[in-house]
């Protein structure tokens, strides 16, 4: 199965977020720069992950994005289906 750039970047964002201690935020600009992801495109991806309950955000000083769930609670199939649509058996 070939995954879109959007799905690939979503995985990168979640792995990046999981590297921070629990409750610690990260900045979109840092993630974009370190992974070569266009910032505006990344903003849309993070918003979808937030709406799906995988990320949350904080405003103000020290704000940014952070995991909304434990990393082991986020299933790869859920990420793929969020960005690629339902998985079906291929024959």
Q: Tell me what the pLDDT averaged over the chain comes to.
A: 93
Report the pLDDT value the prediction gives residue 62, as an integer from 0 to 100.
Answer: 83
φ/ψ of 30, rounded to 5, equals -65, -45
CA–CA dist 8, 15 (Å, integer): 11
CA–CA dist 65, 27 (Å, integer): 7
For 20-45, what is each residue's pLDDT tens digit?
Answer: 999 999 999 999 999 999 999 999 99
Q: Closest Cα to residue 29, out of 38, 20, 21?
A: 38
CA–CA dist 14, 72 (Å, integer): 11
For 44-83, what is each residue's pLDDT tens digit?
Answer: 999 999 999 999 999 998 899 999 999 999 999 999 999 9
CA–CA dist 85, 82 (Å, integer): 6
- pTM value? 0.90
- Domain 5-84 maps to which CATH number in 3.40.228.10, 3.40.50.150, 1.10.10.10, 1.10.287.990? 1.10.10.10
| Residue boundaries of the structural domains of the chain | 5-84
């Amino acid at each position: 199965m070939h995954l879109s750039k959007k799905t690939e970047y979503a995985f990168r964002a979640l792995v990046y977020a999981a590297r921070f201690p629990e409750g610690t935020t990260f900045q979109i600009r840092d993630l974009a720069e370190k992974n070569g992801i266009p910032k505006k495109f990344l903003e849309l991806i993070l918003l979808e992950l937030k709406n799906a309950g995988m990320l949350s955000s904080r405003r103000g000083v020290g704000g940014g994005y952070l995991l909304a769930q434990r990393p082991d609670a986020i299933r790869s199939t859920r990420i793929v289906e969020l960005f690629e649509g339902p998985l079906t058996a291929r024959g």
